Amino acid sequence: MKYYILFGPPGAGKGTHAGAIAQKYDLKHISTGELLRAEIAAGTELGMQAKSLIDAGSFVPDSVVEGMIVSAFDTIKDVDGFLLDGFPRNLSQAKDLDEILAKRGDKVTAVVALMIDDDLIRQRIAHRAAIEGRADDASEETITNRIKTYHAQTEPLIEYYRSAGKYYEADVNGWDLDTNRAKVLGVMEKINQ
């Protein structure tokens, strides 16, 4: 089983490119954001707790997210692997994921980081909020908090995975979807040679 991580700040295009990667490499795309939004839409207790945190631009506790991911690993069988999007978000989650996979006799295959400037992140998130009506993308303060949180908590994972020899980058610092997709799939081809 292969385990890829799609990595990047909010608005980098993880959700946009994940489908193409998953289809080409027979992977199950697991988006923690989508899992959480499904819980919120269903009105579960977890969903209500998550909503208040997400609305404030904060992250949901690791144990909750990890439980959802382990459940997906346990129940989804007819794929060659998984593409994690939105997890891990910090060093603690990365180490927890290593432990989760080690118990299965597996490990992270590779990390593909979508590289994008902060100014373009702001533009893309505002654009996404307008198109999708996502409340978690609507406020400038929330967007700023999410970018700061990404730089503080998630960026340290670059060195963690680089030192393990599993880190790859795709420059998606533009608006052209086809160009960005070609760059992302090019990185995946390099990994899978």
CATH number at 78 reads: 3.40.50.300
162 lies in some domain: yes
**What local confidence, expressed as pLDDT, does residue 33 receive?**
78
Q: Give the model confidence (pLDDT) of 76-115 as tens digits.
A: 889 999 999 989 988 999 999 999 999 999 999 999 999 9
Phi, psi (deg, nearest 5) at residue 45:
-60, -45
Regions in the chain scoring below 50 on pLDDT: none
Number of domains in the chain: 1
**What local confidence, expressed as pLDDT, does residue 138 receive?**
64
State which amino acid sits at residue 178.
D
Exposed/middle/buried for residue 102 (C-beta within 10 Å: 0-12, 13-18, 19+): exposed
**What local confidence, expressed as pLDDT, does residue 43 receive?**
86
* CA atoms of 70 and 44, how far apart (whole Å): 19
Q: Which domain holds residue 66?
A: 2-188
DSSP secondary structure, 82-140, as one string:
EEEES---SHHHHHHHHHHHHHTT----EEEEEE--HHHHHHHHHHHHHHH--GGGT-H
Q: Give the model confidence (pLDDT) of 3-14 as tens digits.
A: 999 998 888 889
**What local confidence, expressed as pLDDT, does residue 137 receive?**
63
193 lies in some domain: no
Exposed/middle/buried for residue 50 (C-beta within 10 Å: 0-12, 13-18, 19+): buried
**What local confidence, expressed as pLDDT, does residue 136 receive?**
62
Q: Which residues pair with 114 in a beta bridge?
A: 170
43 lies in some domain: yes
7 lies in some domain: yes
